[in-house]
Structure 1
């Protein structure tokens, strides 16, 4: 199926779809909106690439967040946060 240039999505349309694509990935869209966003992704290569990239990033973050940081690292982070809080209050 070919599209003539008159039916390709404009940049403004794509900008509007970016937030909706993120909400689609997070399962926060109504069913009707899901169909609209999926139809846009099917006809717009840049948005399809963004969709695939965001899904991949989300999967990697989810996998990483399931791991527990070592005790030493958590303690170093906690101490550093306290140091920064002291620096901020001293200014």
Structure 2
């Protein structure tokens, strides 16, 4: 096994350089030449590929979660509870 597979030596330092670039790749914020460089690194580096997959999965999960809306009945219940808490606090201070 090479030192790169164990994350030792200068290869580990090289991987640090790719962490931010991986995020930019996921967000489609790299030019074509940089995409090719990062993608080549990902093909050769298992730990960075795992990080890429994890970050991509988290980003997709967050995007899916943020696009959902709470049902109106839930919103009404939350508003009611907030009003009740406000009334209790106001009455407690009187």
How high is the TM-score relative to the length of structure 1? 0.69
Q: CA deviation at 1:74?
A: 6.7
Rg larger for: 2
CA distance in 2, matches of 1:26, 1:40: 17
Cα RMSD (Å): 2.5
Deviation at 1:5, TM superposition (A): 2.8
Number of residue pairs the alignment of both structures matches: 74
Distance (whole Å) between structure 1 residues aligned to residue 77 and residue 32 of structure 2: 43
Partner of 2:64: 63
Moved over 2 A (4+): 72-76
Give 1:72 deviation, angstroms: 4.8
Provide the C-alpha distance between the structure 2 equivalents of 1:73 and 1:34, rounded to a whole number of angstroms: 48
Matched, 1:48 2:49: yes
Work out the CA distance in 1 between the residues paired with 2:17 and 2:60.
Answer: 24
